[in-house]
Amino acid sequence: MIPFFDFKSELKEIRPQLEQAFARVFDRGYFILGPELDEFEQKFASYIGSGYAIGTANGTDAIEIALRACGIGQGDEVITAPNTAVPTVSAITATGAVPVFADIKADTYLIDPKSIEQSITAKTKAIIPVHLYGQCSDMDTINAIAAENNIIVIEDCAQAHGAMYKGKKAGSFGAVSAFSFYPTKNLGGYGDGGMIIANNHKIAQICRQLRNYGFVDRYKTVRNGLNSRLDEIQCAFLIVKLDYLDKYNEKRNELAEYYTERLSDISGLELPKIADERSHVFHLYVISTDKRDNLQDYLAQLGVGTLIHYPIPIHLQQAYGYLGYKKGQFPNAEKSCSRILSLPLYPSLARSSQDIVIESIRKFFNA
């Protein structure tokens, strides 16, 4: 049995450090907006190499707060990719803004700048490129389009902690960026968590207020805010795990290379493509085939866990039917959703388990 994700094997290496961190928070008796948050915010901002970090309760809130801090709201249009996780879009609608989709590139699954240009209207206020599966979007081209049209760029970095583009980290390109620390992410806590990276002091200040009821001082509010704070216990865990992030991302790359070496000769099977001048952090290793559903069933019978990220593009989801999109509008995104399959890949995945996954796939294709 090879599960899609395995927390227990991950915990083996770091459990004593996590237990110490947990004890430190309990002994101090301070659980919300305390010293662990200050330390983690500083360390994460310095890891990304830019700006101000503001912890939030989750990645969805991080996107919503980022949008609101940039003044985006009722009736504004925000462009993003239709093959993203639902929360990218639910965060947009939470502000009152309207999600507008642009198609993706067929080979990398990342938002296509040409399609972004076609989706811009007089109401477009922001673009949210999603660095899907662990690879940065084409940020130079996207930032140039945004500058030309006076549009804000907010990066969705939920799947790309540590990913690089032209020597700079994901999260350092947009006016604001949002991260998630959902447990399975490359940097994941043991519960929910999120972070905003803002490059501008004023925007950072507004984000800080918005995450805590709009407070500027105790019981004094200046804007209608949320309760969206990253709690001390999660911060203590994340401080421990941040030190392992680069090592774990390297491990993910080694595992990805091994899959690629051993699966690349199979005809009818497409493997992840790393675009120029980027380093991937393989949050997910996503293969693609016309026989996706049969392959997934076959692997399940052999005890190999897989998932699909994601099976339904957002423009065809029932919840967003009111936006009026139709099947066929974003052919690359739609095609990818019917063909993609994510294989088990996490730093503690044993080589012997990976060999079983590889052999099972080869057997399916008679290769």
Which residues lie near ligand PLP (CB under 6 A)? 58-60, 84-85, 87-88, 130, 156, 158-159, 180, 182, 192, 194
Asked if 236 and 27 touch (Cβ cutoff 8 Å), the reply is: no
Identify whether the C-beta of residue 58 lies closer than 8 Å to the C-beta of residue 193: yes
Cβ proximity to ligand PLP, 84 vs 212, nearer residue = 84
Minimum separation from the CB atom of position 173 to ligand PLP (A): 16
DSSP 290-339: TTHHHHHHHHHHTTB--B-S-SS-GGGSGGGGGG---TTSSHHHHHHHHH
How distant, in Å, are the alpha carbons of 118, 267, 271, 289, 360 from that of 365?
39, 8, 14, 11, 9
Least CB distance to ligand PLP at residue 273 (A): 19
Q: Which is nearer to ligand PLP, 132 or 295 (CB)?
A: 132
- Least CB distance to ligand PLP at residue 158 (A): 3
By the 8 A CB rule, do 274 and 187 touch?
no
CA 78-149-167 angle, 5° bins: 85
Instruction: Give the nearer residue to ligand PLP in terms of CB position, either 109 or 248.
Output: 109
Smallest separation, CB 286 to ligand PLP (Å): 13
Distance in angstroms (rounded) separating the CA atoms of residues 70 and 154: 9
Give the residue among 20, 51, 22, 55 at the shortest CA–CA distance from 37: 55
CB closer to ligand PLP, 163 vs 263: 163
Q: 155 vs 269, which CB is nearer to ligand PLP?
A: 155
| CB nearer ligand PLP, residue 190 or residue 258 | 190
Residue 278 Cβ vs ligand PLP, minimum distance, rounded to whole Å: 17
To ligand PLP, the closest distance from the beta carbon of 298 in angstroms equals 27
Q: Which residues pair with 180 in a beta bridge?
A: 194
Residue nearest to ligand PLP (CB): 59
What's the start-to-end Cα distance of the chain, in Å? 22
